Structure 1
Amino acid sequence: MSKYSTNIGSLIKELRKKKEMTLKDLSSASNLSVGFLSQLERGMTSIAIDSLEIIAHSLDVELEFFFDFNKKRVEGNQIVRSYNRDAIAITDKIIQHNLSSDTKSYNLYPRLIDIMPFTDNGSYNLQLYSHEGEEFIFVLEGVLTLNIEDEEFTLYPGDSTTFNSTKPHNWKNETNCITKIICVHNPNPFKEI
């Protein structure tokens, strides 16, 4: 199976099992909770890029292992056409589209994220996580439930927020329709120094 035909959570689980690591082992190595890692592997939550980088190092792979940056781009082309965006399945509920033609040169990492309805939202406790940097979120369509520390916010189309990513946070779609958001991270974990 190609690593790009599956989602990142499933790929993490596959790598973890190949290394004969338990969720508890990966939790100790990554400093992420067992509950969060379990939700990630089952496609029930998203993950910040720098947290994914910590998991990658814990599993002895590079961050780029989870992404297909080998697609050919026209040299010098800074325009990303809507029909030519990279699409990456973070989980079976979250699809990420890169909004930059060059993911390695800039401080910002902009993405369009499609969040499918989480049909079993009430049956689990959303695990919050934190990471280095700052985050900007803009809701294009649908309704986003955003948790930051002890507060829960409901964002509608046109709503936006900026927050320090070191605060524990996570988001989900509790509706029966797709939610689309623009998410921009700083720093960009792919930037070449």
Structure 2
Amino acid sequence: MNPDKIGTRIMKTMEQKGISIEALAERTGLAIGFLKRVQEEDLYPSLGPLLKIARSLGVRLGTFLDDQVGCDPLVIRKSERKGELSMLRARDKPAAARFYSLGRGKTDRHMEPFFVEILPESAMEKTLSSHEGEEFIVVVDGEIEIVYGKETHRLGPGDCIYYNSVVPHHVGSAGDTAASIYAVLYFPE
């Protein structure tokens, strides 16, 4: 087991709290098979299911992203960014997005800031997700398409969007080329 993998951290938290996979499935509303793939096959869900897992286990989302001692102020140099997770990755599917945590190391944070590379594969499956909180996105490079409820918005470099993430939404590339964004997610406690 690799301790740096999200699935490993989820299993460790479940063991510490004495929660079975069946109980976690019941608490989150997620299928047992899906939860097993997250834990065993290095499958990273979108942030909605990951947040449900964190909430059900009584931990912050950041618990699965880092376990370092916090520091203030936190400075992350561009050259120090590390790929934290790739969303929608399974053995038979390419990654749709790569997330780089910009808050890693600040354990008392209330927001989750990310630099995100949105890959063209993100446009293939537009699965909507929802979770409590808010999201703020600024497009750095390329174009993205955001499905927000029944609306669709196309954004280019310099454009931004701020929305309540309880509304079902999807963020993907708007075409055949990759895009990059800065995203800040807020999850109420």
Q: TM-score scaled by structure 1?
A: 0.65
For 1:87-142, what per-residue CA distance to the aligned partner results, in whole angstroms no more than 9, with x for missing partners?
Answer: 21132422211223543334332111112220771xx4x22122111111111112
Instruction: Give yes or no for the alignment of 1:67 onto 2:68.
Output: no
* Matching residue of 2:127: 127
For 1:49-91, what per-residue CA distance to the aligned partner results, in whole angstroms no more than 9, with x for missing partners?
Answer: xx41322465x69555632333x78x54532111122421132
Please say if residues 127 and 170 of structure 1, whose CA atoms lie closer than 8 Å, have aligned partners that are also in contact.
yes
The DSSP-based 3-state class of the residue aligned with 1:69 is coil
* Matching residue of 1:107: 110
Instruction: Give yes or no for the alignment of 1:52 onto 2:55.
Output: no
Aligned AA (1:31) = G
| Pairs within 5 Å for 1:134-173 | 134-173=134-173
The DSSP-based 3-state class of the residue aligned with 1:181 is strand
Corresponding residue to 2:98 among 64, 84, 95: 95
The answer to which of 155-164 and 108-117 deviates more is 108-117
Aligned AA (2:119) = M
Q: Which runs of 5+ in 2 are unaligned?
A: 12-19, 90-94
* Matching residue of 1:78: 74
Instruction: Give the superposition deviation at 1:180.
Output: 0.8
Instruction: Give the superposition deviation at 1:175.
Output: 2.7
Q: Distance in 2 between matches of 1:161 and 1:135?
A: 8
Corresponding residue to 1:30 among 25, 28, 31: 28
Query: What is the Cα-based RMSD across aligned positions, in Å?
Result: 3.8
Q: Which runs of 5+ in 1 are unaligned?
A: none
The DSSP-based 3-state class of the residue aligned with 1:118 is helix
User: What's the % identity of the aligned pairs?
Assistant: 24
Please say if residues 145 and 153 of structure 2, whose CA atoms lie closer than 8 Å, have aligned partners that are also in contact.
yes
* Matching residue of 1:185: 185
Q: TM-score scaled by structure 2?
A: 0.66
The DSSP-based 3-state class of the residue aligned with 1:87 is coil
Q: Distance in 1 between matches of 2:54 and 2:2?
A: 17
Please say if residues 67 and 107 of structure 2, whose CA atoms lie closer than 8 Å, have aligned partners that are also in contact.
no
Q: Distance in 1 between matches of 2:45 and 2:52?
A: 17
- Pair 1:120–1:130, CA change in 2 (3 A): closer
Please say if residues 45 and 172 of structure 1, whose CA atoms lie closer than 8 Å, have aligned partners that are also in contact.
no
- Pair 1:180–1:188, CA change in 2 (3 A): farther
Please say if residues 86 and 97 of structure 1, whose CA atoms lie closer than 8 Å, have aligned partners that are also in contact.
yes
The DSSP-based 3-state class of the residue aligned with 2:132 is coil
